[in-house]
Amino acid sequence: MTTSQLHIALLAFPFGSHAAPLLTLVQKLSPFLPSDTIFSFFNTSQSNTSIFSKSSKPDNLKIYNVWDGVKEGNATPFGREAIELFIQSTPTNFVKSMKEAEEETGVKFSCIFSDAFLWFSCELAETMNVPWIAFWTAGSCSLSIHLYTDLIRSNDETLSKIPGFLSSLRMSDMPPEVVAENLEGPMPSMLYKMALNLHKADGVVLNSFEELDPIINKDLKSKLQKILNIGPLVLQSSKKVQVDANSDESGCIEWLEKQNEKSVVYLSFGTVTTLSPNEIVAIAEALETKRVPFIWSLRDNGVKILPKGFLERTEEFGKIVSWAPQLEILEHSSVGVFVTHCGWNSILEGISYGVPMICRPFFGDQKLNSRMVESVWQIGLQIEGGSFTKSGTMNALDTFFNEQKGKVLRQNVEGLKEKALEAVKSDNGSSTKDFKVLVELIKCHKAT
């Protein structure tokens, strides 16, 4: 068993939008590491199938399926049940697959690089005498909230005392795991243990940029060994976003070319969230009444709920697709506002391309992200009452297309876009420098 090569164990959390960013990060890191570096990617079979069907696999990456906790012959669970079964199967499932990877490659692990949720990675790293690098796939704002779990739970008057947050922050904005009735459930327990152990990580990597939350980042640096903001990853590529005719099967970009600058509303709520029938109808009625140009990413089961005749009545100024090339749409000069569920990737993509947002959060860190968008960064607004109504949606659209406030929000997000570009494009950019630190952190350790 050799220790002469770098062999990096990548431990993914297989739900939501967690595993794919870890793969993206590997693709960014690979060219900067020795050519004989081995990456072993540990994830459930279902998640691996999903992400590797949409993304190319680096030649030096080996894929391993870890047990998802579902006993053979049992029906495939969904949602919370699937997550809880997976959590209960850890860390045994990872340990088993990691031993197989070392035996198969003949190379001991030199580093454990895990989703931050998988807090037990610190114990595995200690046993192997290798560094643990944790990847927090969301923003520094939500990471900070988790680190302050005990303070938040002790007194709801203390939210404004957390560095970098305003007094407008409310308990209802908190991730549900932080304010759960008790911290013994699988998800609350996992995230609480993460908060207690994250100081042991040799580095905590974030897909963000330091200038977005400077006060929060300063506070995080006082609590953790190394905070490395290396994003936005979407801007790390030196190539301009391009769409060829074959990849734009829905014709979104061709359609956008015919629209006026900053006139289009783009609506997308991710792959997990589902709008209620009432909200789908409310959005449709607002779009039709305002006659504002729109692209709406809406799956077939949602299309069935639309008001009768809506597609025909709006075909001159609207486009509904089951899947949309989001990055290319957000980059297009015709797009004026992004209506989103406030998942971190979507928030960061909106900022990266300078598109202000209308927020309708659902779960996890989305409510906190939404509050930051409206009250702290001031680059968008939350939908009135927390869910879509016809009048609330029309009022939100009016803000961006008919009011001075919309211009201010657009200017603010353009300012953050410039800071994001500077962070990743400049040799002295904060994210460029942190990325170099991450590369050295990985390179300088060999298993002993």
Q: Which residues are catalytic?
A: 18, 115
Q: Which two tokens stand for residue 288?
A: 């039709």
Q: What share of the chain is helix, strand, coil (3-state, %, to 5)?
A: 45, 15, 40
Question: Please, are residues 30 and 60 in contact by the beta-carbon 8 Å criterion?
Answer: yes
Sequence-distant (≥ 6) Cβ neighbours of residue 445 within 8 angstroms: 110, 111, 130, 131
Sequence-distant (≥ 6) Cβ neighbours of residue 384 within 8 angstroms: 391, 392, 395, 396
Question: Please, are residues 399 and 201 in contact by the beta-carbon 8 Å criterion?
Answer: no
Beta bridge mates, 153: none
CA nearest to 128, candidates 23, 36, 59, 202: 202
Token pair 């959060």 in the structure block, residue:
361
CA nearest to 64, candidates 25, 118, 33, 103: 103
Return the DSSP state at 363.
S
CA nearest to 11, candidates 103, 130, 145: 130
Question: Please, are residues 226 and 202 in contact by the beta-carbon 8 Å criterion?
Answer: yes
Residue 271: CB atoms within 10 Å: 12
At 220, which amino acid appears? L
Return the DSSP state at 169.
-
E strand intervals along 35-83 = 38-44, 61-66
What gap in Å lies between CA 19 and CA 118, rounded to an integer? Answer: 12
Question: Please, are residues 150 and 131 in contact by the beta-carbon 8 Å criterion?
Answer: no
What gap in Å lies between CA 264 and CA 111, rounded to an integer? Answer: 46
What gap in Å lies between CA 442 and CA 218, rounded to an integer? Answer: 23
